[in-house]
Structure 1
Amino acid sequence: MRMTPLQYAQNVEKLCVLPDIYIRLKEIMDDEQSSLTDIASIIMLDPALSSSVLKIVNSALFSYLAEIDEISKAVAVLGINEIHNLINTYGVTTAFSSVDENIIDMDRFWEVSVDTALLCKYLAQKKNIKNTKSIFVSGLLHNIGELIIMQTDPKKVQYCQDYNQDETPWLRQKEVFGFTYADCSTALLTLWELPQSIISPIRNFNNLNKEDTSEAADLLYICTRLALLNSHPGMYSKKTFINKLILQKLDISMEELDEAINFCNIEGIAIMRALKLNN
């Protein structure tokens, strides 16, 4: 009998535990009485998190003119929404920091995930797409389901990695599991009570048949395909691989896709280092 996405997520929830600093910060950020000063004081207790926040706030993701070298200033400049996004990113990625790299290439996994996140962020800003404040995090975590299933069925995950130009990763995942990795991502992030603004695009981006998909889900659809193209040069044709109707819906041109790829190729390594996702 096949396992469901929720069953896979429940299994891994016992193995991959959210860090204590994340849980403490989530409690504070969920408390309407908490201030930015309260949040900054907790972040400063964790050197790794403090370092990540400072590197990211000074990266091309935000492009501030002056260098920011204090957590209190970073929190004040970023604001509650961006800090919340960074905390969610830190919590989930840290929970999966001890994954067995003998099964999949973790550097490659995170490279594609970061590419997706950067592409989403770039295009959302360039096209002024609404309701996409959390889209960077959605892009980064959309495929975390692969790491979830890997804990239980590593051989099936390895089989799903052997897709070729005649099929897509998502088709092979559905063949093996009856669902995609994104469904597992959705299940675990829901169990961990991440915001629906992060989860909803992940839940819906593969459902092209839904007429009511959000702009965030449509954007994530485009960027997951674009990141795959970028990681496998020549395997797929950009003109046929990405649905033209979705591009038209968001008013994104082929030239703008190329601009987005150039941006993520330049900034990807820096963001991976900021998030400590590479060795």
Structure 2
Amino acid sequence: MSISALEYAQKAEALCVLPDVYLRLKEIIEDEQSSLSAIADVLALDPALSATLLKIANSALFNFPREVDSISKAISILGTEEVHNLVNTYGATAAFSCVDSSVIDLDRFWEISVDCALICKYLAEKKRIKGGKGLFVSGLLHNIGELAILQSDVEKVKYCQQYDKNETPWQRQQDAFGFSYADCSVELLTLWQLPESLIAPIRDFHLAYGEERSPAASLLYVASRLALLNSHPGMYSKKHFVGVHILQDLDISMAELDEAVNFCNLEGLSILAALKLKKTE
């Protein structure tokens, strides 16, 4: 009997637990009566999260003219919505810190995910995409379903990694499971009660080529494919792989795609390091 995307997500939720500080912060941030100082107090209890927040606040993601040297300053400059996005990023990535790296190439997994996130952020800001503010998180977590499924179905995940230029990863996933990793990502992030604004683009982006979807979902479609191209140079034709008509709808040129890739190549390693997503030798 086949297992649904929701069932895989439920199994992973039981094994990959969100950090306590994430749950507390989520509760405070979502309370409209909470003060910035209350958020800062909880952040200060977790040195790893505090350090991550400061590193990302000082990265090219935000490009502030002066160094952000305290948690309270980071919160006041970034705003609670952006802090909430970063807390969601921290919680979801930390939950999968125990994944067995002998089964899949985790470095490549996170590099593609971070590239997708950075491409989303770059193009969302450049083209002023409606609903694009949280797309960094959507891009980073759009494929987290692979890590969820890995917890209980190693052989099928290995099979899905064996795609080549004649097929896409998503075709393999449909063949193996009857759904894509993104579908499992949606189920897991819903169980974790992440904001619907972050989940909706992940739910819809695979449909963007054939159906009219939100600009955020369409951009995630482009970014996910561009990130895959960046990790597999020459495997696919960029012009056709990312969807020319979607680029036209979003008013994105091929030159702007190149700009976005250059941005993620420049900044990817610093984000991977800040989030502790890359193995150290």
Return the TM-score normalized by structure 1.
0.99
- Using the aligned pairs only, state the percent identity: 64
1:24 aligns with 2:24: yes
User: Following the alignment from structure 2 to structure 1, what is the Cα–Cα distance between the partners of residues 263 and 227?
Assistant: 12
Aligned to 1:178: 178
1:108 to 1:64, Cα distance in 2 relative to 1, 3 A? same
Give the aligned residue type for 2:264.
C
Give the aligned residue type for 1:208.
A
Tell me, what secondary structure is at the counterpart of 2:149? helix
1:134 aligns with 2:134: yes
What are the superposed Cα offsets for residues 154-175 of structure 1, whole Å, 9 maximum, x if unpaired?
0110110010000000001001
1:209 to 1:120, Cα distance in 2 relative to 1, 3 A? closer
The 5 Å alignment of 1:179-258 reads 179-208=179-208, 211-258=211-258
User: Following the alignment from structure 1 to structure 2, what is the Cα–Cα distance between the partners of residues 208 and 76?
Assistant: 36
What are the superposed Cα offsets for residues 214-270 of structure 1, whole Å, 9 maximum, x if unpaired?
110000000000000000001111011111110001000000000100000000000
Aligned to 1:86: 86
User: Following the alignment from structure 1 to structure 2, what is the Cα–Cα distance between the partners of residues 38 and 212?
Assistant: 42
User: Following the alignment from structure 1 to structure 2, what is the Cα–Cα distance between the partners of residues 259 and 41?
Assistant: 39
Q: State the 1:34 CA deviation.
A: 0.1
Give the aligned residue type for 1:147.
L
User: Following the alignment from structure 2 to structure 1, what is the Cα–Cα distance between the partners of residues 144 and 112?
Assistant: 11
1:114 aligns with 2:114: yes
Q: State the 1:212 CA deviation.
A: 4.0
Aligned to 2:14: 14
Q: In the alignment, is the contact (CA less than 8 A) between 1:119 and 1:261 conserved in 2?
A: yes
What are the superposed Cα offsets for residues 129-182 of structure 1, whole Å, 9 maximum, x if unpaired?
111111000000000000011111101101100100000000010011000000
Q: In the alignment, is the contact (CA less than 8 A) between 1:122 and 1:260 conserved in 2?
A: yes
Aligned to 2:274: 274
User: Following the alignment from structure 2 to structure 1, what is the Cα–Cα distance between the partners of residues 73 and 209?
Assistant: 45
Aligned to 1:148: 148
Tell me, what secondary structure is at the counterpart of 1:81? helix
Tell me, what secondary structure is at the counterpart of 1:3? coil
Tell me, what secondary structure is at the counterpart of 1:206? helix
User: Following the alignment from structure 2 to structure 1, what is the Cα–Cα distance between the partners of residues 275 and 123?
Assistant: 21
Q: State the 1:209 CA deviation.
A: 6.0
User: Following the alignment from structure 1 to structure 2, what is the Cα–Cα distance between the partners of residues 15 and 44?
Assistant: 27
How many positions carry a matched residue from both structures?
A: 279
Give the aligned residue type for 2:127.
K
Q: In the alignment, is the contact (CA less than 8 A) between 2:209 and 2:246 conserved in 1?
A: no
Return the TM-score normalized by structure 2.
0.98
Q: In the alignment, is the contact (CA less than 8 A) between 1:40 and 1:75 conserved in 2?
A: yes
1:253 to 1:209, Cα distance in 2 relative to 1, 3 A? closer
User: Following the alignment from structure 1 to structure 2, what is the Cα–Cα distance between the partners of residues 232 and 191?
Assistant: 32
Q: State the 1:211 CA deviation.
A: 3.7
Q: In the alignment, is the contact (CA less than 8 A) between 2:209 and 2:243 conserved in 1?
A: no
Aligned to 2:260: 260
Q: State the 1:188 CA deviation.
A: 0.4
Aligned to 2:163: 163
1:193 to 1:180, Cα distance in 2 relative to 1, 3 A? same
Which segments of 5 or more consecutive residues in structure 1 lack a partner in the other structure?
Answer: none
Query: Following superposition, which runs of at least 4 residues in structure 1 exceed 6 angstroms of deviation?
Result: none
Aligned to 1:102: 102
1:55 aligns with 2:55: yes
Q: In the alignment, is the contact (CA less than 8 A) between 1:81 and 1:133 conserved in 2?
A: no
User: Following the alignment from structure 2 to structure 1, what is the Cα–Cα distance between the partners of residues 72 and 80?
Assistant: 12
Q: State the 1:210 CA deviation.
A: 6.0
Tell me, what secondary structure is at the counterpart of 1:14? helix
